[in-house]
Amino acid sequence: MTSLILAIRTLTRLPIPGEHKGALAQSLPYFPFVGAILAALLLGTGYVWSLTPFFDWYRGQALVYVVLLALLTGGLHLDGLADWADSFGADGDKERALQIMKDPGLGAFGAVALVLYLLLQLELITKLLEMGLGLWLWVLLVLSRGMMVELMCFYPNARGSGLGQAYMESANKTHRLLAQLFALVLVYPFFGAPALSAWGVAFLWTHFFGVLSTKRLGGITGDLIGANGLLIELILLILALMQRPVWAPIWGGW
């Protein structure tokens, strides 16, 4: 439980009391569970929304989801996406790119990336709700958090310092395997084969992103981990709109 609590504190702004003792990397296998918690909060909000007179205003519901998700995570991953866009959009070598990511200011590339991401996220979630596939949010939030662990355990730290290093220095194959196992256990019972295909797409994208980042920066950073998580969410939203997965829980004989 202490490791799960640390994972919740790391990836959300939920007020969890108490203090954690032990290596930070012990929380990595529980990252997918944090995605499940976020999804449960969104879906619970969706249920409340369905009881209001605005139940069929899907864009409004999607907007609530987008805002709530940003609040629950403290905009942490959005900040990472902006820093990633600024660093990869600017000219310069590895050191210059890392310096840009460390700068707390927001550049032109980062601002454009945030606006485009939020608009696309809103549009895709709206379409998802119109198709009656709101439960797919569970899949993308769980898998995106699981792939954060994949990056941390497989690729080196570009800086060799920072919060990401505190997790990565003790990360090992067991943490990586457990995170992916837990992610699959959390999503497979609801969608079956489509959930497996979503995991495969997320896995392939994560390593493409990791290779690209390592070539450009010599590794990954905390900002890149957050950015990759958001990009996976968009990719899996698009995947859902393409294959139209059906909620078929394994206990229902899908």
Can you give the pLDDT at residue 25? 78
Q: 116-148: buried (b, 16+ CB within 10 Å) or exposed (e) per residue?
A: ebbeebbebbbbbbeeebbbbbbbbbbbbbbbb
pLDDT greater than 60 at residue 252 = no
pLDDT band at 162 (very low <50, low <70, confident <90, very high): low
Q: What mean pLDDT is reported for the chain?
A: 88
Asked if 149 and 235 touch (Cβ cutoff 8 Å), the reply is no
pLDDT band at 171 (very low <50, low <70, confident <90, very high): confident
Listed by start position, the domains of the chain span 2-17+31-248
pTM score: 0.91
pLDDT greater than 60 at residue 49 = yes
> pLDDT of 172-191, one tens digit each?
889 999 999 999 999 999 89
pLDDT greater than 90 at residue 254 = no
Can you give the pLDDT at residue 235? 97
Comparing CA positions, the residue from 111, 131, 129, 109 lying closest to residue 121 is 129
Can you give the pLDDT at residue 253? 42
Distance of CA 230 to the CA centre of its chain: 5
> pLDDT of 189-244, one tens digit each?
989 899 999 999 999 999 999 999 898 888 888 889 999 999 999 999 999 999 88
Mean pLDDT score, 53-69: 95
DSSP assignments along the chain, one per residue = -HHHHHHHHHH------S---S-GGGGGGGHHHHHHHHHHHHHHHHHHHHTSTTTT-HHHHHHHHHHHHHHHHTTHHHHHHHHHHHHHHS-S-HHHHHHHHH--S--HHHHHHHHHHHHHHHHHHHHHHHTT-TTHHHHHHHHHHHHHHHHHHHS-BSSS-SHHHHHHTT--HHHHHHHHHHHHHHHHHHHSHHHHHHHHHHHHHHHHHHHHHHHHHSSB-HHHHHHHHHHHHHHHHHHHHHH------GGGT-
CA 111, CA 239: separation in Å to the nearest integer? 26
pLDDT band at 21 (very low <50, low <70, confident <90, very high): low
pLDDT band at 161 (very low <50, low <70, confident <90, very high): low
Beta bridge partners of 157: 220
> pLDDT of 72-116, one tens digit each?
998 888 988 988 888 877 666 677 777 877 777 788 888 999 999
